[in-house]
A and B are shown apart, each in its own frame.
Chain A
Amino acid sequence: MSTAVTCLRAQTPYEESWADGVKSKTGHSSPEEVRPIEYYRLQGVDLARALRDFWSVASIAVAESAIEIASGFEHMLRWFEGAGTVVRPYEVPDNATAELQRASDLDRRIARLFGSVGEQSFEEGIETEFSRELERVVRAYGDNAVVAVGQRIAGGTVKPEAAAEALRWLGQMDSPITYRQRLDLLERSLSAPSAWIRDGASLGLASLDDPDAMPYLERAIEREQIPELREDLQRVLSQLEKTRQCLCS
């Protein structure tokens, strides 16, 4: 079965960053095969909400994995437009099918990564097979790996302690090309329902030591209901404030 692949580039009205997505379309698709947006909801993907929550990049990655035969591309296009999103189709890269395969491999590796956690407990400062594999995956897949990790965590199917461990290591990783994506994920994870995840995100941000994260931390401190965690968030904020002062002077 031949597969035509179309890429889209979307800009949400809520942020200025661009999000890339790859959508495949089978040559023999018929209108009956178009999958409505409800299909994605049934897969646990609420794209509208994800976009509202600045998860646009992750949402498109989720869509990628959900669309094995993406005959609903036009529908997606209309939906993005309906959601107030500017959608601009652009040229199809020659290696798009290989890219889809690569995305599928990434999904499998991330699923295995979190699935392997079991009852494993993590200790500060100690590398584990989990942390080593996470680093390998990020080195191999770059931003897409960070997006996939964020998607898993946001999906709520990952043990909070494992999610926190992933966020801590993402903060410590030496990977300049994924820096912005990791920073974004850590900032967003400050709003996670799990205290473990919020804590892991704050530790990751402390490791990145980027004052850009300060507004996110300030909002997280205002929201935080657990006194000890609020203190820890404040501690990270103070560190970033000192860093900012050093950078300014």
Chain B
Amino acid sequence: MPLLLRKIRKPRWYRTQELSWLSQGEIPADPLADLSTTSNELSTWHIEDDLSNLERVIVAIAGTWDRIDSFDYALFDQRLVEELNIEMQQTMGDTPDAQANHWHRDLVHLSAQRLAELARAIWMDGRTDRKLQKEIRDALARAVSRREIDPNRLKPNVQSQVKA
């Protein structure tokens, strides 16, 4: 089953001792900050189950930034979305990688309840990971040299960081 990627900030998803106040089955509220919606839609990215397009999607998103940075993300099974009866639509992403833009998915018609259920599902069954700034820079440079990324669409700082 394919996966979905959502960009997050990892510290919001830490399972710390300080969360001992949570009741059984509850999750903290902070992860919800990483699931902010626009028009009740949540932007995610389709990732093949063998992760073959993972780096390309990450690099495509990083290609929209002001500066190259580290990249935190959550990966979760698309099955979780289906189980929660959340509707998913393929919409074009807006990155400098035309191919990667086809992997963009919007989770639509999200109520607050469904969003909270999705957060809980990701907390319980998803996983979080990180690419460091240096990895992103190297991957961006590769993507530019392979012509996957249009360098003219990169911000000036990113262009210079990739060339460095």
Contacts and interface: CB of A to CB of B under 8 A. Distances in A.
Contacts of A168: 69-70
B15 interface: yes
B66 A126 contact: yes
Given A127-B67, A226-B16, A209 B134 contact: yes
Interface string B105-143: 000000000000000000000001010111000000000
B10 A199 contact: yes
A203 B11 contact: no
Interface in B127-164: 128, 130, 132-134
Interface in A175-203: 195-196, 199, 203
Interface in B1-56: 7, 9-11, 13-17, 33
Given A125-B68, A172-B69, A203-B70, A228 B132 contact: no
A227 interface: yes
A48 B132 CA distance: 37
Contact of A206 (B13, B14, B65, B132): B132
B97 to A, nearest CB: 15
Contact of A125 (B13, B16, B62): B62
B71 interface: yes
Interface in A202-242: 203, 206-207, 209, 225-229, 232, 235-236, 239
B10 A127 contact: no
Tell me whether chain A's interface is mostly helix, strand or loop, or mixed: helix
B134 A206 contact: yes
B66 A125 contact: yes
Contact of A172 (B13, B16, B128, B133): B133
A91 interface: no
A205 to B, nearest CB: 10
> What band does the interface of chain A fall in when counting residues whose beta carbon is under 8 Å from B?
20 to 34
A228 to B, nearest CB: 6
A63 interface: no
Nearest to B34: A121
A121 B11 CA distance: 13
A148 to B, nearest CB: 23
B67 A229 contact: no
A124 B15 contact: no
B70 A196 contact: no
Contact of B65 (A126, A196, A209): A126
Given A124-B71, A235-B130, A228 B14 contact: yes
Nearest to B65: A125
A227 to B, nearest CB: 7
A227 B33 contact: no
A61 interface: no
A228 B134 contact: no
B137 to A, nearest CB: 10
Contacts of B65: 124-126
A164 B11 contact: yes
B93 to A, nearest CB: 16
A199 B10 CA distance: 9
A142 B53 CA distance: 43
Contacts of A229: 11, 14
B13 to A, nearest CB: 7
Interface of A: 121-122, 124-127, 161, 164, 168, 172, 195-196, 199, 203, 206-207, 209, 225-229, 232, 235-236, 239
Given A172-B133, A207-B133, A209-B134, 10 more contacts: A121-B33, A124-B7, A124-B65, A124-B70, A125-B65, A125-B68, A127-B67, A195-B11, A228-B15, A232-B130
